[in-house]
């Protein structure tokens, strides 16, 4: 079953600063273990893996609906390669870390997810299954993100998780807008789309309220607001022709691009405020 608000647990746990059970990162630095990886790097890799669950699903839906197929094929090729690289890098960075078992669960589920993508995606039921599996996989990734953020000793690192989740939502909303056009379980797809739009608006407000900003971040936030307005307008389209679907795909990509600029910008602010 789909989760209408996949990141709800992450949002509340991280936002409230709740510490999860487990050994703090500092306590993992025992003799004989390699120096721990930068927590910001671990968080960045885990959040990106969450984003890619929806990005891969979106690529397959686009191919099935014959929408911007060359871009979709390139997205899939690049995303799968990125997943494999990130899983390797994250696994290496978590050697000796108390979160390693959670990572191992994530890696297994991700490999199963990639195996599922080999099914015939021209069958709409397979697309629905892939979308549902993406949400389940994303929940596993999100749980790992929560743990890494709360053990990072970076009290404001939740802004990275919020920024990454906004990236994911650009893909998530496009997926469910497109799935409506397949004619399968339309009511559920509309509900998921609405929940995604509400979550994006809520988390965008949180991003804009974050107190640590540079002039460039302020400028990018204004651009993000404009791009979100355009994407929101595209998501309002009721027609089922290729033009409406292409507008959603294009505006979601442009919104993602701005968020991809903001993530390293917020990383830089955190590094300046709380250097290691």
40 to 50, 82, 181, 210: CA distances (angstroms) = 15, 18, 39, 18
> What is the mean pLDDT of the segment spanning 240-250?
95
Query: Using H for helix, E for strand and C for coil, what is the string for 200-245?
Result: HHHHHHHHHHCCCCCHHHHHHHHHHHHHHHHHHHHHCCCCCCHHHH
**Computed over its alpha carbons, how large is the radius of gyration of the chain?**
18
pLDDT, residue 20, reads: 30
For 137-166, write each residue's pLDDT tens digit.
999 999 999 999 888 777 677 888 899 999
pLDDT, residue 11, reads: 52
pLDDT, residue 36, reads: 64
pLDDT, residue 190, reads: 96
For 21-43, write each residue's pLDDT tens digit.
233 333 333 334 556 678 888 99
For 185-212, write each residue's pLDDT tens digit.
899 999 999 999 999 999 999 999 999 8
133 to 1, 56, 86, 185, 274: CA distances (angstroms) = 9, 11, 19, 16, 37
* Cα–Cα distance measured from residue 185 to residue 75, given in angstroms and rounded to the nearest whole number: 26
For 169-183, write each residue's pLDDT tens digit.
999 999 999 999 998
* Cα–Cα distance measured from residue 231 to residue 174, given in angstroms and rounded to the nearest whole number: 10
Instruction: Give residue 4's pLDDT band: very low, low, confident or very high (50, 70, 90).
Output: low
Task: Provide the residue ranges of all domains of the chain, joining segments of one domain with +.
Answer: 8-15+37-273
For 122-136, write each residue's pLDDT tens digit.
888 899 999 999 999
pLDDT, residue 7, reads: 54
pLDDT, residue 28, reads: 34
For 40-93, write each residue's pLDDT tens digit.
889 999 999 999 999 999 999 999 999 999 999 999 999 999 999 999 999 999
For residue 47, what are the contacts with CB-CB under 8 A and spacing of at least 6? 141, 145, 160, 161, 164, 165
Which of 81, 39, 32 is closest to 56 using CA atoms?
Answer: 81
């Amino acid at each position: 079953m789909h989760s209408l608000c996949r990141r709800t647990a992450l949002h509340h746990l991280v936002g409230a600063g709740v510490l999860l059970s487990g050994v703090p990162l500092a306590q993992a630095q025992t003799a004989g273990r390699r120096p721990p990886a930068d927590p910001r790097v671990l968080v960045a890799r885990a959040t990106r893996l969450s984003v890619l669950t929806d990005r891969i699903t979106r690529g397959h839906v686009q191919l099935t609906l014959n929408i911007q197929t060359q871009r979709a094929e390139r997205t899939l090729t690049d995303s799968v390669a990125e997943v494999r690289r990130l899983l390797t890098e994250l696994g290496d960075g978590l050697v000796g870390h108390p979160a390693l078992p959670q990572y191992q669960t994530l890696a297994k589920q991700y490999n199963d997810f990639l195996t599922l993508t080999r099914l015939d995606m021209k069958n709409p039921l397979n697309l629905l299954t892939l979308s549902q599996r993406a949400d389940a996989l994303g929940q596993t990734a999100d749980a790992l993100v929560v743990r890494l953020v709360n053990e990072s000793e970076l009290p404001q690192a939740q802004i990275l998780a919020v920024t990454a989740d906004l990236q994911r939502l650009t893909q998530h909303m496009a997926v469910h807008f497109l799935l409506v056009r397949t004619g399968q379980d339309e009511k559920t797809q509309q509900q998921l789309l609405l929940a995604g739009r509400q979550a994006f608006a809520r988390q965008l407000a949180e991003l804009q309220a974050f107190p640590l900003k540079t002039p460039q971040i302020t400028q990018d936030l204004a651009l993000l607001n404009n791009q979100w307005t355009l994407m929101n307008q595209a998501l309002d389209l009721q027609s089922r022709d290729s033009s409406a679907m292409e507008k959603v795909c294009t505006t979601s990509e442009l919104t993602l691009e701005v968020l991809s600029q903001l993530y390293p910008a917020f990383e830089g602010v955190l590094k300046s405020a709380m250097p290691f």
